[in-house]
Structure 1
Amino acid sequence: MRKSPTRALTKRVLTISMSSSPRSAKRKRRDSSNDEEHQPEEIRRSSDYWFNDGNVILQVETTQFQVAKSLLAMHSTVFRDMLTLPLPSEEPLVEGCPVVVLAGDSAEDWTHLMAAMFPTSYFRAGPIELPVLAALLRLTKKYDIPGIRQPLVERLKQEFPTTLEAFSPIKDWTLLPAGDSPNETVVGLINLAREIGLYTILPTLFYSLDFSDVQDKAFQLLSEADQVTCFRGYATMLKQNDLKSTAWLKREPGKAVAKDCEDIRACRAALKSLAYTHFLSVEGRELILEPWDERWGKGLCERCLTISRKVFDIARDIRWAAMPGVFGLPEWEELEKMDFE
């Protein structure tokens, strides 16, 4: 269920200043003799989002957007409340419009949001670049714009789900392009999830990281705490190939999985090959949440195959339930309660 913006947030936005004279994005330096550094940055109008029939001007950093109040109110409950407040009688206007200075936001982020509010085509082709996604989620949360925010959050939760049934270990994303470095995308999403409070996607994001190159520069973009979380989690995943979770692969010599095995020697040979070729190798980390592959049953009798698959699925369920803890996070149910939406 979508949560309403907090009273503190609403109060803060409602007190955003309205001014007739655009404000400088740079303060004057008193200790400098360079006249150029004394000059404020020039305010410019957005070339794409300055509509002559608009009746409010939004100033973000040094960029101004002139739009219609009714459109902002339609998208955002925060702006709906703010724009219903009467202007002071002495409040000057610019070209008949009040100027709302949005402190703390970035002009680039607002340009992405304007593109979502004023699309040039109805259908968006292809995935969304990470900087655009981050801008949209950041601002649509801050100003409570559910029509744009909720579909993006839903798609993120589909890509990085909380259930094993919905999970796919293959990075076949539909919302985001993986690009040349999937790790950069995953790291960017981890940072974004931390920033906006979308905690349920963190376990599968951490799991999706490729640890084959520990010198990958993408890891340096994480906070120090999350860097530690990543590598501790990776070490834990390697240890998860223990006797309990892979008992079906490591039976005592002369024994097979099923008590009524049809061919103990053949099944033991098949299990040994599978164990050391896949699950007990360093690369076996990639198979911790992998679904059963029919090729793994090659060489097993029907009875051993049935039991092996059953034990494998049970171990996989256990690993999924434990995955948040592997990365130092609360359990799945607690993460769902922590999500901002």
Structure 2
Amino acid sequence: MDLGPPAKRQRTDNVEIVRSSEIWHSDGSVVLQAGCTQFRVHWSVLSLHSSFFRDLQGLPQPPNEPKVDGCPVIEVSDSSEDVETVLKALYDPLFFLQQSLSLSVIASHIRLNFRKYELKKIWSIVVERLAYENPSTLEGYDGLRGPGSGYYKPSKFKAYKGCYMDILTLAKENNLLAVLPCAYYRVLLAYTQAQIFDGVQRPDGTQATLVSVTR
């Protein structure tokens, strides 16, 4: 990966802007800014995967628009973590060949696709992972359980305490209707009534909750 110099900082309206140390291509042609982080990438890569950026590239740019190293700056409303995750995948053709991905990575791709970026091929890949683990038929559900004991262990994402609650929330927020029935059922099997109402602590100390659940 062709990365540019170490992260540099600038200030705009008293906000410190940081160049990404992970995604900063010295020959990039456009800078995406998410929050206070800038990513220098290529129009050609964005346009190849996203009709949103393909259309955006064709729009005339006002002459007084700010630039960084001669590149136009496109501000996006998404988190820098989500943007960095998706850009890493766009530049790595082997990214989705991994057998298991973290749920946070899957969530980043789903959130950005659902909002506006129309990364259709990637959308299909990440949604397929959730759909595989949350089938819409009883036969599919039974097929995921191991022989004998019927024990289920996900293979398409990395499980952790609270993950089934996070999957249900992700599916609800992004209108993944086919995933919902099984996701609801997994939550009912995995957690006590108290956990469903009060949440479950993830390994990193944060809380997985179903925000729409009320007493």
Q: Provide TM-score, normalisation by structure 1.
A: 0.51
Q: Give yes or no for the alignment of 1:194 onto 2:168.
A: no
The answer for the alignment partner of 1:115 in structure 2 is 88
The answer for the alignment partner of 2:156 in structure 1 is 175
Equivalent of 2:194, from 215, 225, 230?
215
Counterparts of 1:106 and 1:122, CA distance in 2: 20
The answer for the alignment partner of 2:65 in structure 1 is 91
Q: Name the amino acid aligned to 2:209.
A: L
Residues 294-328 of structure 1 show CA distances to partners (whole Å, capped at 9, x for unaligned) of xxxxxxxxxxxxxxxxxxxxxxxxxxxxxxxxxxx
Q: Offset of 1:172 from its aligned partner? A: 2.4
Summarize the Cα distance change of 1:46–1:211 in structure 2 as closer, same or farther, 3 Å threshold: closer
Residues 131-183 of structure 1 show CA distances to partners (whole Å, capped at 9, x for unaligned) of 1111111112320001211111122212211122211354321211222x2xx
Counterparts of 2:104 and 2:56, CA distance in 1: 28
Residues 25-52 of structure 1 show CA distances to partners (whole Å, capped at 9, x for unaligned) of xxxxxxxxxxxxxxx3310100111001
Higher share in strand:
2
Summarize the Cα distance change of 1:74–1:222 in structure 2 as closer, same or farther, 3 Å threshold: same
- Unpaired runs of at least 5, structure 2: 1-9, 146-150, 201-206
Counterparts of 2:22 and 2:209, CA distance in 1: 32
Q: Offset of 1:129 from its aligned partner? A: 1.2
Residues 244-265 of structure 1 show CA distances to partners (whole Å, capped at 9, x for unaligned) of xxxxxxxxxxxxxxxxxxxxxx
SS of the residue 1:172 aligns to: coil
SS of the residue 2:38 aligns to: strand
- Unpaired runs of at least 5, structure 1: 1-20, 25-39, 229-341
Q: Give yes or no for the alignment of 1:106 onto 2:85.
A: no
Residues 192-216 of structure 1 show CA distances to partners (whole Å, capped at 9, x for unaligned) of 1111110111111111123563333
Summarize the Cα distance change of 1:127–1:113 in structure 2 as closer, same or farther, 3 Å threshold: same
CA contact (8 A) 1:45 1:65 kept: yes
Q: Say which one has the larger Rg.
A: 1
Q: Give yes or no for the alignment of 1:158 onto 2:146.
A: no
Q: Name the amino acid aligned to 1:189.
A: I
Q: Offset of 1:93 from its aligned partner? A: 2.6
Q: Name the amino acid aligned to 1:215.
A: A
Counterparts of 2:177 and 2:84, CA distance in 1: 27
Residues 1-21 of structure 1 show CA distances to partners (whole Å, capped at 9, x for unaligned) of xxxxxxxxxxxxxxxxxxxx9
SS of the residue 2:89 aligns to: helix
Q: Name the amino acid aligned to 2:155.
A: T
The answer for the alignment partner of 2:123 in structure 1 is 149
RMSD: 2.3
Q: Offset of 1:114 from its aligned partner? A: 1.2
Summarize the Cα distance change of 1:224–1:93 in structure 2 as closer, same or farther, 3 Å threshold: closer
- Same amino acid, percent of matched pairs: 34
Q: Offset of 1:53 from its aligned partner? A: 0.6
Residues 263-290 of structure 1 show CA distances to partners (whole Å, capped at 9, x for unaligned) of xxxxxxxxxxxxxxxxxxxxxxxxxxxx
Q: Name the amino acid aligned to 1:116.
A: A
Q: Provide TM-score, normalisation by structure 2.
A: 0.78
Residues 220-243 of structure 1 show CA distances to partners (whole Å, capped at 9, x for unaligned) of 710243x67xxxxxxxxxxxxxxx
Count of aligned pairs between the two proteins: 188
